[in-house]
Amino acid sequence: MQTATAAAAAPWVPTPSPSTSSSATPFKVGIALPCRTGVRTSSAPRLVATPARRRRRQVVQAIANPDPAVELPLTAENVELVLDEVRPYLMADGGNVVLHEIDGNVVRLKLQGACGSCPASVTTMKMGIERRLMEKIPEIVAVEPIADEETGLELNEENIEK
């Protein structure tokens, strides 16, 4: 017979009922093992809805955590290759990133969709995309965002609809 501490440490496993009656459930019902509050005994992942702020943080962390470092030369193809690794995380939040130009060692990108208007886009650009590009392509000195032409208008009387 198990002691109370051994029973508490062991995960709960349903045992077949010793009765020979044909009940709907083959397990004992109503037996409760000691339970420690706040401690999970299952190793199965917990499916929990996450708030938007935590999801954004997870997107940035997923983009910023690179695979084993393989250094690439600075070319448009290699920048696109690294951006292809980043895109699924952005697309999951309804956004995208496009290479605008490479000027020397400076890469200019444009965030599109939900990422273009998101308040967290600066964090996504700096801590996620820029970091990933600079780790994979060490020649890059800076990654700069390009403002959308539709929202990049100067605020003056000529640009205000009447």
Own/partner contacts of 71-80, CB < 8 Å, gap of 24 or more, are 71/136, 71/137, 71/138, 72/136, 72/137, 73/137, 73/139, 74/102, 74/105, 74/137, 74/139, 74/140, 76/102, 78/136, 78/137, 79/107, 79/133, 79/137
Domain 52-145 has CATH 1.10.260.40: no
Structure letter (DSSP) for residue 44: S
pLDDT of residue 39: 57
Q: What band does 27 get if pLDDT is binned at 50, 70 and 90? A: very low
Q: For the whole model, what pTM was predicted?
A: 0.51
pLDDT in tens, 134-144: 999 999 999 99
**pLDDT: which is higher, 40 or 83:** 83
Residues 6+ apart with CB under 8 A from 36: 8
Q: What is the mean pLDDT of residues 8-28?
A: 52
| pLDDT surpasses 80 at 64 | no
Reduced 3-state DSSP string for 48-100:
CCCCHHHHHHHHHHHHHCCCCCCCCCCCHHHHHHHHHHHHHHHHHCCEEEEEE
pLDDT in tens, 68-93: 557 889 999 999 999 999 899 888 88
**Domain edges within the chain:** 52-145
